[in-house]
Amino acid sequence: MDFDQLSTERPTLSLKDPEQVLHEVFGYETFRPLQGDIIREVVSGGDALVLMPTGGGKSLCYQVPALVRPGTAVVISPLIALMQDQVAALNELGVRAAFLNSTMDYAQARDTENALMTGELDLLYCAPERLIQPRTRDLLHDASISLFAIDEAHCVSQWGHDFRSDYLELSLLAREFPTVPRIALTATADERTRQEIAERLSLTEARHFVSGFDRPNIQYRISPKTNANKQLLDFIKAEHDDDCGIVYCMSRNKVDATARMLSDKGYTALPYHAGLNAPERARNQERFLREDGVIVVATIAFGMGIDKPDVRFVAHLDLPKSLEAYYQETGRAGRDGKPSTAWMVYGLQDVIKLRQMLEGSMGNDQFKRVERQKLDAMLGLCEVTSCRRQVLLRYFGDTLDEPCGNCDTCLVPPDTWDGTVAVQKALSCVFRTGQRYGVTYLIDVLRGSDNERVRQFGHDKVSTFGIGTELSANDWKSVFRQLVANGYLRADPEGYGSLQLTEQCRPLLKGEQPIQLRKDPVPVKSSGRSGSGSAKAKISDQITDQAGWEALRACRKALADKQGVPPYVIFHDTTLFDMLERRPTTLSELAEVNGVGTAKLEKYGEIFLQTLGDLSEA
């Protein structure tokens, strides 16, 4: 195989029809729902606010207009580290893209600026803090700008989970460039956040395009936390042993410990958090993007804008602060539309810790009220006994008429039980012991444990001592978890972990109100199917010619290493699978494979035809 035959020149694109750009450049036959409408709006000079789920094809909504409209499209992206990969992927397609950020030296920045001024760029990626600098704005005023695309637009919301103050300055685009169309895009925004995006970015007159939030290929599963490390290991070993995945933890220390634990068990697990030095973070992200089977263990600092299509699972070892954060993070799984898993364990301590952090924050009363509502919605998803997907979609203003059939509560519906008496006992125990103790101690009192601490404080004499022997310690943990999650108990705001009664619990404590509790279900394994039937089985399960598959992957890997890009930038797995199924023998036949555009056909066509030809002769 002769890799020296690769062309290093990128053809100048002069296509003026969106459908032609889609086919010739990106290798796709038709637009997905809403894409065509959004693109036509922007091409015609209109503004747009786009809400589309991760993996729904948001980037094409500004990349296609950028190649149709005259001038350079400026893309505002929040994370500098991701621009290089986005630009590399576009360059592979023959698109003249570059970035401008603080990692560049003077000569590199000058060359990019010159390319902008001479009209040699189709797209320019820029961080918001760079764009708002006077020098950059002067540069843009002197250049020919086709459109502004504001990616991850939810970062402008002060109520959002990824707020970035530099985004607040982007309203200047409407004032200083009134004739240039603007498109703001996000995958995560409830109604409040949508309104704030429109107001802060001066897009109140823009057309709003809201695609469905459903990701039917993702199976949502949430389990009570018992032994988080063992639960995670059992999950990965049983269902995703060789797969790429992301594990989210709340603290840096937990990230490091979890990555070490997985590495000790034979997995390629890399940490990612703000406490690591920049080169190590960049190295770990690079390995995740370019190697197969890598697991990144990370804080929420990792993942925004990640375009890796074959992340098969996202696991949470700690409770996210909101459904926006949960949806954004789990949405990094299964961008290729293949079956993937969003798996989470959570426990009482997660709830207590988040509530304490919220109450102890420096935010004003309005901020705390909104944050409480967001946390309550997150807890509601965890404790729901009906379809999780319906609850999740309803939060974002979307609907699903029937239960999805692809979440744990659909696959194994949880049982409920009359917890009225047990709850009275639990609340009474909190009251009788002075509202000064944590859950472990309260369970000891309820179960009549003969330990020195209980005797020392005299709680072996209170009326609630030993009245809860009918439930196990884990059963009582479930009771307390649900009481805290539903607001009947609260964690001590001073941070000592003790549980206190709220006004909301009064009817329960007096026996005036019955309550049904959720029985913690037996863990369920992935069914490998989608409730809607739209996602096919994993590609690895469909392959009948394993040798051919490995040969195509090896060809892709060699090309990726030579080009210095992740393998999926060359071709996605779905494109390789289509090649293997079709077995093209000519360039015209290869051009019909999904995901093979003109530039990639010219650069890689002969090499992949040669590989396929070698397979036929073997």
Q: Is 144 exposed, middle or buried (0-12, 13-18, 19+ CB in 10 A)?
A: middle
Least confident of 152-161, 250-259, 545-554: 152-161
Task: Output the pLDDT for position 295.
Answer: 97
> Is residue 526 pLDDT above 70, yes or no?
no
> Is residue 532 pLDDT above 50, yes or no?
no
Task: Output the pLDDT for position 537.
Answer: 57
User: Is there a common fold for 12-210 and 218-411?
Assistant: yes
| CA distance to 37, 542, 553, 596, 615, per residue, from 578 (Å) | 28, 11, 13, 10, 15
**Domain ranges, ordered by start, for the chain:** 12-210, 218-411, 416-518, 543-617
Give first-to-last CA distance, the chain, whole Å: 15
Q: Is 440 exposed, middle or buried (0-12, 13-18, 19+ CB in 10 A)?
A: middle
Alpha-helical runs (H) found in 227-347: 228-239, 252-264, 278-290, 323-330
- What fold, for 416-518? Arc Repressor Mutant, subunit A (1.10.10)
Task: Output the pLDDT for position 522.
Answer: 64
Task: Output the pLDDT for position 191.
Answer: 80
Is the model more confident about 532 or about 583?
Answer: 583
Decide: 539 and 339 in contact? Cβ < 8 Å: no
Task: Output the pLDDT for position 494.
Answer: 67
Task: Output the pLDDT for position 72.
Answer: 97
pTM above 0.95, yes or no: no
Instruction: Characterize the bridge pairing of strands 218-224 and 97-100.
Output: unpaired
Cα dihedral 112, 116, 120, 126 in deg (nearest 10):
70
Task: Output the pLDDT for position 4.
Answer: 43
DSSP structural state of residue 79: -
Cα dihedral 382, 387, 390, 396 in deg (nearest 10):
10
Over residues 344-353, mean pLDDT: 90
Over residues 439-447, mean pLDDT: 95
CA atoms lying within 13 Å on the CB side of residue 81: 19
Q: Rounded CA gap, 70 and 82, in Å? A: 26
CATH of domain 12-210: 3.40.50.300
Collapsing DSSP to helix, strand or coil, 98 comes out as strand
DSSP structural state of residue 316: E
The pLDDT confidence band at residue 521, using thresholds 50, 70 and 90, is confident
Task: Output the pLDDT for position 1.
Answer: 43
Over residues 300-329, mean pLDDT: 87
Strands (E), 415-478: 416-418
Over residues 339-363, mean pLDDT: 88
The pLDDT confidence band at residue 194, using thresholds 50, 70 and 90, is confident
Alpha-helical runs (H) found in 73-155: 80-92, 106-117, 128-131, 134-142
Task: Output the pLDDT for position 232.
Answer: 97
- What fold, for 543-617? DNA polymerase; domain 1 (1.10.150)
Domain 218-411, CATH among 3.30.420.40, 3.40.50.2300, 3.40.50.300, 2.40.110.10: 3.40.50.300
The pLDDT confidence band at residue 530, using thresholds 50, 70 and 90, is very low
